[in-house]
Structure 1
Amino acid sequence: MTRPSPPPPLLLAEAAQHLSQTDRDALHDLYLRGTPDNTLRAYERDLVYVTAWKAAAFDAPLDWPEAENVALRFILDHARDLSDAPLTDPARITAETLIDAGLRRHLTCPAPSTLDRRIASWRAFHGMRNLANPFEAPLVRQARTKARRAAARPPAPKSARPITRDLLEDLLATSGPGHRGLRDRALLLTGWASGGRRRSELTGLHRADIDLDDFEKSGVVWIRLIETKTTTRGDTPRLVLKGRAARALVAWIDAGKITNGPLFRAISKSDRVLKRGLAPEAVAHILRRLLVAAGYASDHASPHGLRSGFLTQAALDGAPIQAAMRLSLHRSVSQAQRYYDDVDITENPATDLLD
């Protein structure tokens, strides 16, 4: 049975005042569509941001459709580093207003991907209302292209280092006893061995998503993800968990007496399993704690390292990229290939074919 979508998260308190009732209604309508939860949260943040930006830049609410000059000004305001701009520069004044509101971090030029995402959200809001999109105007499109090229930068890795097998073993060795240790081992092993799951995918799992029917006979656990960043609700294939990872997950389920509800749960100070599921941010906290316990810096790796580590290890072990992608659920071979390309050429199994 498919779980219902979670209720819409609350708007940022400091920015909610900028939203008109029309915008609130439009935002609510997004939750009635079959849109992934992560996308909905991005829509919400972007709507709050662009609404606050126009209020600061033009002292006016959003218009539907928005004027082309407003769309152009939005691009120009986000296409340069404002750190050295005069204090009277309108773009700098607007940016400082957003920083004070907690909606922008600094005056430096945002990443092109951030600008692209906010524009894509703004476009979606126009499409939702069946209105013309100001970002399709020739001058605005050209400015956006130039801004993207001017701010181009090498893509930064989402994790400082991939969590390959050796690092994973170090983390598991420090996970400790009790329910907390069982949960942490099951969380890491499930996230890594099932293809490098994102933290939202791990914390979104429920007991009903885990099929243990084949475990006693073959040691296999089946996992059903409701949806992922690259798949839609109902179209995500089942994933398989075997060996140590399957045993660790079953041990956690048995010890925690988890018969329904969230799979990975909070643990009390007295090592009691609570009914409350983990938030995605908790995965990062757990990983930092284990890294420090294992003798690494707390920022040595991030939760995305489970995903990059799985693919990197697959490359090191000579697993075909297509086989790895069946678990990682990457849609693009070129994206998955990046992890294979990052493997040191001396570690490539193909270099040992003769010997």
Structure 2
Amino acid sequence: MNKIDHYLQAAVRDNTRRSYRAAVEHFEVTWGGFLPATADSIARYLADFAAEHSLNTLRQRLAALGQWHVSQGFPDPTKAPLVRQMLKGIRAMHPVQERQATALTLEHLQRTISHLEQQALFAQREHCLPDLLRARRDAALLLIGFWRGFRGDELARLRVEHIQALAGGGMQLYLPQSKGDRQGRGVTHRMPALKSLCPVQAYLEWITVAGIARGPVFRKLDRWGNLGEEALNSGSLIALLRRIFAGAGLPAETYSAHSLRRGFATWASSNGWDTKALMSHVGWRDVKSALRYVDASASFGELALPVPSEPKQIN
């Protein structure tokens, strides 16, 4: 790979690159399409999969096909009026209610962290390092993911050398790449130490017991408790979270990787955060994106708040 290709590849997130590659392969191999494509062939492709795939999936594939044409110097057929009209027709004929992840409530977060703490204490008494590692990693993953409203890929990309944490003080987490960081400048996130459910304490306990000084924060643990060098795959996060919640006796099948993000958004909205503060904290640029994550049916009013008296200080 030459220098130009190296920098061009770095401009696209790995998850995006993989999904685009899969979409182009689906068009060419699975459907039998030819590239460069015409608006008519794109419309026929959409029609053949309209009843099989969700509108979001079809749009993602159109984005990939459009990107391929632009990068190769061809006109983008996905922007043609015929294709846009096809999408409108598919939306009208196949209306589907958008499925959303169940928001993780503060009560369920407390219950899960209590369960993990009991596991950690028992592992310490029994001198069982594998169980101690798993409990400390899972607690740090949940608390950082919840209070920062991180997506699964952001949790997977956290690195120890990009984090500064002080017990009883707070922590800074730097992400060189983020979905909302369109300029590629990197984003620094801050969190204070909390009296309970503290992400700072959970992080320090995890890296201390794991002996991690550099590299990914959240790593794979095999069935024997051996700690790997590679980061957790964000695609495996759903299974991991459901295992954690099931262990705490919660309805694990209702949760997904977005449950932490949606849970925080709902908690913040219920505790006086305005939309602008919430968007700034999580990194949303679009109001609709923020409101989609807020579960209006959830009530956190009766729960004790583990944050400072001014919740916006969590920024």
TM-score by length of 2: 0.80
Match status 1:63 vs 2:6: no
- SS for the counterpart of 2:220 is strand
- Which residue does 1:185 correspond to in 2? 139
Q: Which residue of 1 aligns with 2:203?
A: 249
* Counterpart mapping for 1:151-170 below 5 A: 151-157=94-100, 159=101, 161-170=102-111
Query: Which string of whole-angstrom CA distances, capped at 9 and with x for unpartnered residues, describes residues 153-199 of structure 1?
Result: 22211x1x2012111111112222111111111111111112x1111
1:291 to 218, 221, 245: 245
Contact 1:230 1:329 (8 Å CA) reproduced: yes
Structure 1 position 36 matched with structure 2 position 50? no
Quick one: which amino acid aligns to residue 165 of structure 1?
Answer: L
Give structure 2 stretches of 5+ with no counterpart.
Answer: 121-131, 303-315
Match of 1:277 among 231, 235, 238: 231
* Residue 188 of structure 2 corresponds to residue 222 of structure 1: no
Tell me, in whole angstroms, the C-alpha distance in 1 between the residues paired with 2:43 and 2:222: 52
**Any idea what the Cα deviations from partners look like across 1:75-114, whole Å, max 9, x if unmatched?**
22123x3xxxxxxxxxxxxxxxxxxxxxxxxxxx321111
1:52-91 map, 5 Å? 52-55=29-32, 62-64=34-36, 66-79=37-50, 81=51
Q: Report whether the alignment pairs 1:119 with 2:119.
A: no
Cα distance in 1, alignment partners of residues 199 and 181 from structure 2:
24
Corresponding position of 1:45: 22
Deviation at 1:33, TM superposition (A): 5.3
Q: Structure 1: which amino acid aligns with 2:111?
A: D
User: Which residue matches 1:204?
Assistant: 157
**1:206-246, Cα deviation, whole Å (9 max, x unpaired):** 1112123xx15x61110011222222363343111222111
Shift of 1:332: 0.9
Counterpart of 1:144 in structure 2 is 87
Aligned-residue offset at 1:45: 1.1
Q: Report SS of the residue matched to 2:172.
A: strand
> Shift in Å at residue 74 of structure 1?
0.9
Q: Match for 2:62: what amino acid?
A: I
Q: Which amino acid aligns with 2:187?
A: P
Q: Conserved in 1, the CA contact under 8 Å of 2:161 and 2:214?
A: yes
C-alpha distance in 2, partners of 1:259/1:30?
28
CA distance in 1 between counterparts of 2:300 and 2:217 reads 40
TM-superposed deviation, 1:46: 0.5
CA distance in structure 2 between the partners assigned to 1:334 and 1:139 by the alignment: 27
Look up the SS of the partner of 2:135 in the other structure: helix
| Greater radius of gyration (CA) | 1
1:104 alignment partner in structure 2 = none
Q: Is the CA contact 1:191–1:306 (under 8 Å) kept in the aligned structure 2?
A: yes
RMSD between superposed Cα atoms in Å = 2.6
CA spacing shift, 1:295–1:126, aligned 2, 3 Å? same
Report the Cα distance in structure 1 between the residues aligned to 2:214 and 2:55, rounded to whole angstroms.
42
Unaligned runs of 5+ in 1: 1-6, 8-27, 56-60, 82-108, 349-355
- Identify the residue that residue 173 of structure 1 maps to in structure 2: 114
Instruction: Judge conservation of contact 2:270–2:299 (CA < 8 Å) in 1.
Output: no
**Percentage identity across aligned positions?**
26
- Distance in 1, matches of 2:205 and 2:293, equals 31
Cα distance between partner residues in 1 of 2:232 and 2:46: 38
**Aligned length, in residue pairs:** 282
Shift in CA distance, 316/49, structure 1 to aligned 2, threshold 3 Å: same
Change (3 A) 1:71 1:346: same
252-261 or 225-234, which moves further after superposition?
Answer: 225-234
Shift of 1:341: 6.0
Q: 1:284 Cα shift?
A: 2.1
Confirm or deny: 8 A CA contact 1:36 1:233 kept in the other structure: no
- Is the deviation greater in 34-43 or in 337-346? 337-346
